[in-house]
A and B are shown apart, each in its own frame.
Chain A
Amino acid sequence: MIHLKNIEKVYRTATVETVALNNINLSVEKGEFVSIMGPSGCGKSTLLNIIGLLDEPSKGKVEIGGKHTNGLPDSQLAHFRNQTLGFIFQSFHLINDLPVLDNVELPLLYRKVSSSERRRLASEALEKVGLSNRMKHYPNQLSGGQKQRVAIARAIVGQPQIILADEPTGNLDSNMGNEIMDILTTLNQRDKATIIMVTHDENMAKRTHRLIRLFDGSQVS
């Protein structure tokens, strides 16, 4: 499903060169639930951004769903993200000026989907995360756990094959974190979604199929 080969990411300024990722080789099969762990600054988010096509590697090849993504134009990358990938962020990144339902509809705005169909799909996604009673609420009227569930609904509304979660429980207490993990596990088991999750939490990582550890930009296990 996902194949990374000899991935290197170097950030350059006029005087400093920082290696964020060094020779990463990674394969994730369809339906796998993989967690990535490592200390702060080890390159976890950079790796997730590269897999999510939000950033380009300095070297190496990225293949997702059998398609090489290096050098694709912006429009194709955007289309790929929209159709294949779903994102969940640590700080939720909901649009506070839009009601929950509209937030969830966001990925569908960039597809040719009718307004009524968008409503239907978004409502279904919210039902899956147990928030069908909060559709008309605004994000600032929700708790942290509820916000993350909205973010999950937004990630799954377009039925992507891959979900990328960047510390989805990082801003939540352990109870809410567990609730979120339950939802992700269900999505993986019931809907066969491939999930890659960055986390700092060993307990959360233990609930996934496989753990990848990074240290100073390199894969250590």
Chain B
Amino acid sequence: MLKHLFKLIWKRKKMNSLMMFEIFFSFLILFAVWTLGIYNYRNYAQPSGLETDNVWVAFFNFNAPNDTIKAEYQELVRQQLTRYRTVHSFAFTSSNAPFTFSSMNNNVEYNKKTTMSEIMRVEPDFPKVMNMQISEGRWFNETDKAGNYRPIVITRHLKEELFGNESAIGKTLGNGEGAGANDPKMKVVGVVDYFKHKDDFQKLSSCIFQPSERWDDTMVMKVQAGSGAELEAQISKEVARLGKDWSIEIQQMNNMKSNRNNLVLVPVLILLIVCSFLVFNVALGLFGVLFQTISRRKQEIGVRRAMGATQGAILWHFIGETAVIATFGLILGVFFAVQFPLLNVFDVEAGVYLLGILMAVISVYVLVSICAFYPSRQASVMQPAIVLHEE
């Protein structure tokens, strides 16, 4: 029967090529949507490695003339914040604190292996504020300041990139190209498994945490659950009064994260809407073409029924024919789609592309089956006695 279908399709290749190309383009659209969806979902499903509930981010502007004075101002802020019973912990960080729109990265080097990593300066209480768990080693503390090396904590992703399966603890990293001659080398004291600092959809990232410097003027603070605008206003008012021309802006980290998430979700949503519209149009096109095809082949349907085809055989004949045409469109589509994992486009895992291809193939077959079912059903219930006598 399959050979029979191939013959019919081949003979009508010009007419079927339109349907084949519609399916080809639908596949490419669905492949893009599924791949993007799978990629983001897989990243989303990974633990974030930090907690943002009841975490606030304070952006200070001390208007300090130099870093020494700024360090004094930092101390004033610390003293002020310890007075609030509802502020459980706090830590100064560099301006690229989690979910800010700021980034700071540099090359790091180990045994001639160089890789780019985000670098975040944080105070020792940072993991307490963010509820981060160390999986190997320890977090740096005040005693590390005495050493010749700058103590750092790195993410597991960076550890695997630089050291593979070896333990990272105690290993020293160079600063890579462009580093100053006086920049101290970095010694790994701890490893964290996960750290999503951009958004919930961020892939496993390379990040280095190093001790905060005196010029850092961003702070993360863990506040008591239920603290709201009242505490925020109180802190802003009282801290701003500590120095001349100081300003402070406080944001909830959950809101910041949500804003960053939207930057990923909104384009995906727009793509999804555009794709749904395109696929809907393709489905309508398929539906129309199939209706027209069946309408033109009424007599053939009558003959097949007269020769012994059951209603079910007619139904599956047309669904089968459409599925075979869809398969040709898909073969073409898959040929292009497999180039993505083969050429490692966008540095996405091959598994994501392959799953995207599989889901797009399934989606096309489901779409085609739905579109083919109703016209095929109409064909199957045609009265042979009537259609055989139609001109």
Contact = CB atoms under 8 A, between A and B. Distances in A.
A74 interface: yes
A97 B304 contact: no
A45 B1 CA distance: 31
B388 A78 contact: no
B384 interface: yes
Contact of A97 (B1, B12, B310): B12
Interface string A82-103: 1100010100010101110010
Contact of B383 (A55, A87, A98, A111): A55
Contacts of B303: 87, 89, 93, 95, 106
B14 to A, nearest CB: 12
A45 B390 CA distance: 13
B75 interface: no
B1 A109 contact: yes
A167 to B, nearest CB: 11
30 contacts: A54-B305, A54-B383, A54-B385, A54-B388, A74-B310, A74-B311, A75-B312, A78-B309, A78-B311, A81-B308, A82-B307, A83-B308, A87-B303, A87-B307, A89-B388, A93-B300, A93-B388, A97-B11, A97-B12, A98-B4, A99-B7, A106-B307, A107-B307, A107-B308, A109-B1, A109-B307, A110-B310, A110-B313, A115-B3, A158-B308
Contacts of A107: 307-308
A97 B307 contact: no
A43 interface: no
Interface string A48-78: 0100101100000000000000000011001
Contacts of B384: 54
Nearest to A48: B385
Nearest to B384: A54
A79 interface: yes
A95 B298 CA distance: 11
Contact of B7 (A78, A82, A102): A102
B383 A110 contact: no
A87 B303 CA distance: 9
Given A74-B310, A74-B311, A78-B310, A106 B304 contact: yes
A18 to B, nearest CB: 14
Report the interface size class on chain A: 20 to 34
Nearest to B299: A93
B302 A93 contact: yes
B4 A81 contact: no
Given A54-B384, A54-B385, A54-B388, A79 B299 contact: no
B179 interface: no
A98 B11 contact: yes
Contacts of B311: 74, 78
Contact of B8 (A79, A82, A97): A97
B104 interface: no
B305 A78 contact: yes
Contacts of B233: none
Nearest to B15: A97
Contacts of A55: 383, 385
B338 interface: no
A102 B1 CA distance: 11
A36 B312 CA distance: 33
Contacts of A106: 303-304, 307
A147 interface: no
Contacts of B12: 97
Contacts of B83: none
B223 to A, nearest CB: 73
Interface string B295-334: 0000110111111111111000000000000000000000
Nearest to B309: A110
A195 to B, nearest CB: 16
B385 A98 contact: no
B322 to A, nearest CB: 16
Most central of B304, B305, B308 by chain A CB within 10 Å: B308
Contacts of A149: none
Contacts of B312: 75
B112 interface: no
A74 B312 CA distance: 9
B244 interface: no
Query: 7 tightest CB-CB pairs across the interface, nearest first?
Result: A82-B308, A97-B11, A55-B385, A110-B308, A49-B385, A78-B310, A54-B385
Contacts of B299: 93
Contact of A98 (B7, B306, B310): B7
B389 interface: yes
Nearest to B12: A97
A52 B8 CA distance: 27
Interface in B257-309: 299-300, 302-309
